[in-house]
Amino acid sequence: MDPGVLAQYAFNGLMLGVIYAMVAVGFTLFFGVLDVIQFAHGDVVMAGAFVALATYLALHGLGVAVPGLVVIVVACAAALAMALLGALIARYLVLPLRAAPAFNTLLITLMLGSILRELVRLFYPNGSNPQPFPRLLPTASVNLGNFTLRLDTTILLVVGLATIFVVNLVVRRTRLGLAIRAVAQDSETARVMGIDFQRIVLVTFAIGSALAGIAGVVYGLYYNEVNFDIGLLLGVIGFSAAVVGGLGSIYGAIIGGFLFAALQTIGSVALPVSSAYNNVFAFAVVIILMTWKPTGLIAEPTSERV
């Protein structure tokens, strides 16, 4: 195959990987502090994209047209709105069910995902159809043979990686991060040490969900289209990526995200069947990977107190 086309595929895969990694980091953070899976996380990404879209339309209506400013305001709006949503989810849906069986938490977040999807489908104007997402970034491009390096996707790639890097920095290097890691390691002891457990949980959910909001903006800017049901796929793949990398580890989530993007890209290039089967392939890979390594490639050592 032509090296230019190959490079194009690799670059697209990388882009997909960044989005998956951003989603997976959220899953891993939540699992770290509360040992729960927030199954609506993919739909939070979708909601973030729609908040960004609505903000853009509002700015457009007000006549604000400074390109750089618009994209920053839009991304901030999505991140803040999703941070708030994440904290609310933690406060009113996840924390109250801490004593209940894990099945209940699973179900309540799954149903929340369904609620978010339906809210967008029913109440966003014409929400049941894919919505065009504006191109807010400069679209200059360089051609290297068959490989087109576009400025906007490069910016998205860098911004995506930078946000993950910042979140990692917060978790590893700040006092807040220390508290998050303490709660993740042993919430009882952390509480004894004077850490406000509920506050840390809410903040963690806010951080993870803000990341999801930005992921939604990146998704929208990359595909130039958002639909109400993208969250289902993103959630399942993000969770699988987090699991494959080992739940609770941020680096694992990043590796898992890129691994999944690589598998999907290879699948779409190498498989003889039509590209319509892309998602079928992705979900089959999820099932097979989960069977092969039920607790991730970097398996966590498990022991159980009976």
Partner 1 sequence: MRVPLEADVRAPARASDLPVAALGIAAVAAWLWAFLVTDRVAILGALLAVAAIAFVLAQRSAVAKRYGLALARRPRMGVAFAAIGVLAVAAALHDQPYPLLMLCTVMLFVVACIGLDIQTGYCGIVNFAGAAFFGTGAYTAAVLAKQGVPHLFGIVCGAIVAALVGSLLILPVLRTRGYYAALVTIAFGILFSTFLEVNNALGGPQGLKLPGIDLFGWRFNRDVDIGGASASFYVNYVVLALALALGAYVFSRRVDRSWIGLTFDAVRLDETAAAAFGIGIARAKIIAFTLGNFLCGLAGAVYAMMQGFIAPNNFTFGESLILVSILILGGIGNPLGIVPAALIIIVVPQKLQFIQEYRFLLYGILVVLILLFRPEGLLPRPVRRYFPAPR
C-beta of 126 vs 291, nearer to partner 1: 291
Rounded to a whole number of angstroms, the minimum distance from the CB of residue 183 to partner 1 is 19
Closest CB 305 distance from partner 1, rounded Å: 9
Q: In angstroms, rounded to a whole number, what is the distance separating the alpha carbons of residues 134 and 38? A: 29
Q: How many Cβ atoms from other residues are within 10 Å of residue 3's Cβ?
A: 12
Give 191: exposed, middle or buried? Use CB within 10 Å, 0-12, 13-18, 19+: middle
Q: How far is the CB of 155 from partner 1 (least distance, A)?
A: 32
Report, in Å, the least distance between residue 129 CB and partner 1.
Answer: 15
Characterize 163-185 residue by residue with b for buried, 16 or more Cβ atoms within 10 angstroms of its Cβ, and e for exposed. bbeebbeebeeeeebebbebbbe
Q: Least distance (Å) from partner 1 to the CB of residue 121?
A: 9
Min separation Cβ 264 and partner 1, Å:
14
d(CA 144, CA 259): 26
Least distance to partner 1, CB of residue 262, Å: 18
Distance of closest approach, residue 239 Cβ to partner 1, in angstroms:
6
Instruction: Please state at what angle helix 151-173 crosses helix 175-185, rounded to 10 degrees.
Output: 70
Closer by beta carbon to partner 1, 9 or else 281: 281
Decide whether 80 or 97 has the Cβ nearer to partner 1.
97
- Closer residue to partner 1 in complex, CB, 74/87: 87
Nearer to partner 1, 61 or 294 (CB): 294
- Name the one residue in this structure whose structure tokens are 């959910």: 205
| Phi, psi of 132, rounded to the nearest 5 degrees | -70, 135
Alpha carbon separation from 208 to 21, 88, 203, 250 (Å, rounded) = 12, 13, 9, 11
Gyration radius from the chain CA atoms:
19
| Residue in this structure with the two tokens 């903040």, named with its chain if needed | 203
Instruction: State which residue, 56 or 228, has the beta carbon closest to partner 1.
Output: 228
Spatial distance between the Cα atoms of 177 and 184, rounded to a whole number of angstroms: 10
Rank residues 139 and 291 by Cβ distance to partner 1 and give the closer one.
291
* Tokens matching residue 158: 């860098």
Select 175 or 305, whichever has its Cβ closest to partner 1.
305
Contact 209, 83 (CB under 8 A): yes
The binding site for partner 1 (CB under 8 A) comprises 37, 39, 93, 96-97, 100, 102-104, 106-108, 110-112, 114-115, 117-119, 122, 232-233, 236, 239-240, 243, 274, 276-277, 279-280, 283-284, 286-287, 290-291, 294-295, 304, 306
* 142 torsion bin: left (phi>0), alpha (psi -120 to 50), beta (else): beta
